[in-house]
Amino acid sequence: MTLHAADQAPPRLEPGLGRSLLPLFALALSMMIGFTVMGSFATVQEGAKAELGLSDTLLALIQGVGAAVPLVLFSIPIGILVDRFNRVRLLLALAMLWTAGTLLTAYAPGTGTLFAARMMTGIGTTGALTAALSLGADLCRPDQRGRAMLIVSLGKAAGQAGAFALAGLLFGLFAGGGFGLLPWRATHLGLAGIALVLIVPVLFLREPPRREMAAGLRAPMGVLAGELWVRRRFLLPLFIGQVSVVMADAAAGIWAAPVLTRVYRQTPDAFAGWMGALILAAGIGGAILGGLAADWGQKSGRRGGVLSGAIIAAAIGIPAAFFPIAGSIPLFAAALGTLVLAGTITGLITSVTLTVLIPNELRGLCIGAFIAVAGLIGFGLAPTLVTLVARMLGGEAQLAPALTIVGVVTSTCSVFAFLLAMRAAPLSAIDEPI
């Protein structure tokens, strides 16, 4: 088979990073708009709360559970599709899904439809991330994957910033009414149109050959399950480490805007600009540091050295998780930016770790499983956990200290989990762990 021939190709035939920049930038652009539409609702959720009469618990369910349930159900099947079928076509289909979800958000008549709309954007964006990471890994050599994932992650970081900056800009633009809709609805209608335009470069991508396969592209599921089982001592703590980071980041991403609105008396159009710039800067910085740290860690020659940067970043995230109770907007911004920086570093390094230490036929499955678990626990549990802790502390007025507690505890767990994963890491993608 052609794919197996590509697996056995000599190193001189493997693509270099320079030759792959254009397709990597196309992947980054698709991730940018995907994560923008996925996170946009958090910026304007107070408008939806007022119109539809939503409580904080319902907002948490719409954004948390609404993203988590479909991720749990679909991320692993999408990961299997990524491992076995054309990834470019799959990416395009998922882009259409997140666009449809954004459009449905604009016209959602009630809680149930809004819940379904946010599920669609979550499935599309996180499924597409699995495809983009798998594609990016096969566009360059293993020793360059930190920098390749850096480019894809820059798109994700720009999208997370755009969820604040672009959504806030559109919200302000449509504050007087746009398209005959309330501002939060008109914002999502505008985002749906932008999404259709920015996915066009993906139409010109070509499927690259798959490399570093151990069992083969069409290996039976029983064989793949066996490969996963022998790597359990490595994968399990790696899962726990990254999911813990996702919990802290997801809770911060969903509840930062309400804390600014309720505690610091800021409106979306007032904080959207600096919040977007902050997240963009932290995302770009985290992607650069994470990509370079991952490649440096591989060159160190240590077992699991690729994870060194993730351990350091996770530790930095512990004090940064105190951002909700910082006491002033500048301190709030500095701590939140540091938390986003640390989360971006660990996320990128985890992605690189999977692409260099897991066989190709398992990468989509592993990334999908990571997303599924992160969706269930990170997006599904963390936002609701914040509301539960706030209730224990006295009610919705205790949102800021509750968010702090959840962030500090989960960030601490991630440090110890990454240390365990580092100790149990295999030496290469085709080697079994110790």
Return the pLDDT at 14.
Answer: 60
pLDDT at position 268, please?
Answer: 73
Q: Which two tokens stand for residue 85?
A: 């079928």
Tell me what pLDDT residue 341 has.
92
**In the chain, where are the structural domains located?**
19-200+222-423
Residue given tokens 């996180």 in the structure block: 126
* DSSP secondary structure letters along 278-347: HHHHHHHHHHHHHHHHHHHHHHT--TTGGGHHHHHHHHHHHHHTTGGGSSSHHHHHHHHHHHHHHHHHHH
Question: What DSSP letter does each residue of 155-166 carry, written as one string?
Answer: HHHHHHHHHHHH
For the record, the structure tokens of 274 come out as 């600096």
Distance CA 368, CA 74 (A): 8
The phi and psi torsions of 430 (rounded to 5 degrees) equal: -100, 0
**pLDDT (tens digit per residue) in 2-27:** 333 333 333 445 666 777 888 999 99
pLDDT at 219: 63
pLDDT of residue 15: 63
Complete DSSP assignment for 277-289: HHHHHHHHHHHHH
SS3 178: strand
> What pLDDT shows up at residue 11?
41
Residues 6+ apart with CB under 8 A from 365: 76, 79, 80, 83, 224, 228
The CATH number of the structural domain formed by 19-200+222-423 is 1.20.1250.20
Angle at 260 between CA 254 and CA 262, to 5 degrees: 100
The predicted pLDDT at position 311 comes to 94
* Distance in angstroms (rounded) separating the CA atoms of residues 62 and 137: 33
Contact 187, 167 (CB under 8 A): yes
Determine the pLDDT at residue 373: 78
pLDDT on residue 383: 79
Which residues does 230 contact at the CB level (< 8 Å), separation at least 6?
Answer: 432, 433
Q: How far is CA 144 from CA 170, 215, 249, 265, 270, in A?
A: 38, 24, 27, 45, 40
Instruction: Give the alpha-carbon dihedral of 259, 265, 269, 270, to 10 degrees.
Output: -110
Residue with tokens 């990128």, as numbered in its chain:
348
According to DSSP, residue 217 is labeled T
pLDDT of the residue at 317: 93
Residues (pLDDT < 50) of the chain are: 1-12
Question: What is the distance between the alpha carbons of residues 151 and 136, in angstroms, rounded to a whole number?
Answer: 9
pTM of model > 0.75: no
Q: Is the dihedral of CA 280, 286, 292, 295 positive or negative?
A: negative
The CA distance from 168 to 413, in Å, is 33
